[in-house]
A and B are shown apart, each in its own frame.
Chain A
Amino acid sequence: MAEWTDAENRALTDDLTNALGARQVRTDGLERALYGRDSSTMEAEPSLVVLPRDASEVAAAVRITTGHGRPFVARGSGTGLAGGAVPLDGAVVIATSRMNRLLEVDVTGRLAWVEPGILNLDLSHQVAAHGLHFAPDPSSQQVCSLGGNVANNSGGPHCLAYGVTSAHILAVEVVLPDGSTVMLGGVTAEPSGYDLRGLFVGSEGTLGIATRVAVRLTPNPPTVRTLLLDFDDTDDGAATVSGIIAAGLVPAALEMMDRRAVEVVEAFAHAGYPTDAEAVLLVEVDGLGPGVQEAVDRIAEVARTNSVRTVRVAADEAERQALWRGRKNAFGAVARLEPDYYLHDTVVPRAALTRVLRRVYEIADNHGLKVINVFHAGDGNLHPILSYDSRISGMTEKVHRAGREIVEASLDAGGVLSGEHGIGLEKRDYMGLMFSADDLAEQDRVRSVFDPRRLSNPDKIIPGGSRCADAGWSAGTRAGEGAWV
């Protein structure tokens, strides 16, 4: 952790205040503390908080901050689950929450230009009159920002059919760590040259700050049907997931929750989830009327061959919304069990789903921990949530040990570390489980092209020391040291 002197802090504050105005720069201790964490369990203290109003203020803030040799961290709504927005090394937090405008809608081109602070669901509401929406729908969609979606290449229940965020981002205007502005990608069908837009999406704030984003808009489906299937046995639920995909069906969403998840979700949403079921599947099918009905019938058929207890089809939009409200609030609702939670985001091959799931329960049992499973079953993206009370001594360490075992079990089954939450700070030290030192060094070299001084969201994604830039740190020479494995 870097120490900055009062004089250094004062000089930086003065320069930022002169450029942006006092209302845009926050120095109070209590206020800074509020920007020290996101929705994960990690925290740090930013040296300053900047609240720019437009792209030029972001550019000025970045230029001044890095001019002082100080790192910065971009922040949207602060809903990240992997500590991606936690400001290390006394970084300046640049929060884009005020930049929340829908700038331009091209209805025939089905695209829109937005500022990064616009909330995911607000965007869909604002284009609803044109019969369009932004398809990626993270569970936090009512509050997460587009900039955050871009940073984490976010997924969501409906990404099974529609693809994750990257498939919906056409262009990004980016302020680079030196304060200059570039446009990556473009709104034309196939921009020439390397797909740097694709590189930026999912880079978790380590390459710069997005200040304008061109997003693809998706027509609202004419017909939507939502099914709730419940089972006495988790294996039957998992088998139904495989069966649906094997039958060649591609539902818009295919979600699974276990018994404990259903209990906490129902306590909040009162949507009529069966709290005595061992597993529940929420399946959504959309498209044109007749095709949708056929898909519903075939899904029910697959479920019946796997001993489903009941097949419930939401009768109307209100019932459908209530079911989704339950699913999308699951993480927060877990706090009804214990004050803290720690979750993973691994993706495993669908064929290994049942096996890994059993292993997750086993690991939790071995450690005497409560685990709640709620996940995107269709694409094998697990979200095992360990629920605990950090005030009990030794508990946090125990939870982290169990978490690591869960990650290892997923990787052993041929899975990957993160489906959609990002690596951030929290999963950074697991990267060595997946990548060799050479792999990591190469990734770090890519980063260096954009951020040679490691000032843009330092110490995230790639494991390694902090503030290495000062020592002329070069990725190539570190590769052999094996420091992060």
Chain B
Amino acid sequence: MSRGGSFPIDLGLDPEDLVSCVHCGLCLPHCPTYRITQEEIASPRGRLMLMAEVAESGRADPVFIDAIDACVGCRGCEAACPSGVPYGHMLETTRAALVESAGYQPWWRRIGYRILEHPRLLRASSRILALVQRTRLVPSRFALPPIPLRRTRLESSPRGTVWFFTGCVMDAWMGETLAAAKRVVESTGVEVRVSGDAAPCCGALHVHAGLEAEARDLAREVMAALDGDGPVLVPSAGCGAQLKEYGHLLGTSEARAFSARVLDVHEWLVGRDIPLRVGPQPAEPPPRGRPVVAVQDPCHLRHVQHAHQAVRTVLEPFFELAELDDAGLCCGAGGAYSAAHPSEAAEIRELKLAAIDRAGGDLVASANPGCMIHLRAGGAPALHPLELVDRAQRGLL
């Protein structure tokens, strides 16, 4: 472990927030990094004590940076916290202070975040990555999905009444998933405007990394692009949580009004007529009866948006659902976490895969692309819930 190298820092945390933790420890079992280490320093309670310590002394050191960097940012602790400690925002503020004072985030990570902000650059890099991937030179520990050589382009309807947010990586890598989700939305009889390159990236990964200035710029860009007052539907739980937090990030009434328009796509679908069958059906129905789908709740859907029940409501007419028994414990994907901490991410994933096994089921639904990729890399048959619905509607499942 690194020692010494202490430096002055102002964490900029609200003193009221710092004293709001009473050390009861009820967060510990809901923390994925505590679950794999059983160590206080890898727990929310431990990190909050460290924040308090550093806030008081005004000095931090590499041990502190490592501890703050090691958090997945799942916010499972927040949902479990009876005292209402705003852990997620405190983590983001602390990381932003570390970026400011300690050059937290090495150059190679910063380049990664930069690329996300520029759709053409992202597509170009993705194509290179796709080619390299086909030469099998990308180490498998990075657990990348098979990246398509060509991006799937989504048709946007200028008369559309709802916005469909496509984001950065999802747009470049998982066009088929987006296309399926869009088809399900359209099957309810609405026309859809696609956000596309005008709203390149929600900035979630930037906020999680402490790059708040960049995140604010992206927020303004996204808000300007998604004009009007129609709902903004988000098929990715991580992006949705971020768009809903623009009000907090920018602190303006305009941003709050924008955030109020944002819905996870499943939230929007609840209460609408989703046809059970769409388009020509195959001559022979699929061999099995109703498939059993295990529902994995992405953290930012369950702990931040509290919208995870909507996924079940949307899936229920099509599938038998199986519940996991792990109280929504994180799967270890954590946006950029699985790239920055691949071995820990894989260890956390083992816990999730065991829970999926216990639940049984033919398929796994995951409403966040990051989780989906991560689970697939671990061998789980994970698909976006709306990809499952799309296939069922077409008689393919």
Contacts and interface: CB of A to CB of B under 8 A. Distances in A.
Interface of A: 28, 30-31, 33-35, 37-39, 51, 77-79, 95, 97-98, 100, 117, 119, 121-122, 125, 140, 142-144, 267-268, 329-336, 339-341, 389, 391
B24 A39 contact: yes
Nearest to B22: A335
A339 B49 contact: no
Given A28-B3, A100-B38, A333-B83, A142 B29 contact: yes
Interface residues of B, number: 30
Interface in B1-33: 1, 3, 16, 19-26, 28-29
Contacts of B46: 34
A140 B361 CA distance: 32
B365 to A, nearest CB: 21
B310 interface: no
B82 interface: yes
Contacts of B346: none
Nearest to B54: A30
B258 interface: no
B102 interface: no
Contact of A125 (B39, B53, B84, B325): B325
B81 interface: yes
B64 interface: yes
25 contacts: A28-B3, A28-B63, A30-B41, A30-B53, A30-B63, A31-B41, A31-B63, A34-B40, A77-B25, A79-B24, A100-B38, A122-B29, A142-B26, A142-B29, A268-B82, A268-B84, A331-B22, A332-B83, A333-B83, A335-B82, A335-B83, A335-B84, A339-B20, A340-B22, A341-B22
Contacts of B64: 30
Given A51-B39, A121-B29, A142-B26, 9 more contacts: A30-B41, A34-B50, A35-B40, A78-B23, A98-B38, A122-B29, A336-B83, A339-B16, A389-B19
A325 to B, nearest CB: 9
A122 B50 CA distance: 27
A79 B25 contact: yes
Nearest to A333: B82
Interface string B341-384: 00000000000000000000000000000000000000000000
B271 to A, nearest CB: 21
Nearest to B15: A391
Given A333-B82, A339-B19, A140 B325 contact: no
A119 B3 contact: no
B45 to A, nearest CB: 8
Contacts of B82: 268, 329-333, 335
A251 to B, nearest CB: 25
B111 to A, nearest CB: 31
B320 interface: no
Interface string B46-71: 10011001000000010110010000
A190 to B, nearest CB: 36
B24 A332 contact: yes
A207 to B, nearest CB: 24
A267 B81 CA distance: 12
A473 B23 CA distance: 35
B53 A332 contact: no
B84 A331 contact: no
Contacts of B19: 339-340, 389, 391
A131 to B, nearest CB: 15
A280 B386 CA distance: 44
Contacts of B1: 28
Nearest to A33: B53
A335 B20 contact: yes
A142 B35 CA distance: 13
Contacts of A117: 38
B22 A38 contact: no
Contacts of B49: 33-34
A413 B80 CA distance: 38
Given A332-B82, A332-B83, A335-B82, A34 B41 contact: yes
A331 B24 contact: yes
A31 B26 CA distance: 20
A143 B20 contact: no
B29 A143 contact: yes
A85 B39 CA distance: 15
Contacts of B67: 30
B207 to A, nearest CB: 25
Contacts of B26: 140, 142-143, 329, 332
B251 to A, nearest CB: 24
Nearest to A93: B40
B84 A336 contact: yes
Contacts of B325: 125
**10 A-B pairs with least C-beta separation:** A332-B82, A335-B83, A329-B82, A339-B19, A97-B38, A333-B82, A34-B40, A332-B24, A79-B25, A335-B22
Max chain B C-beta neighbours (<10 A), residue from A34, A121, A341: A34
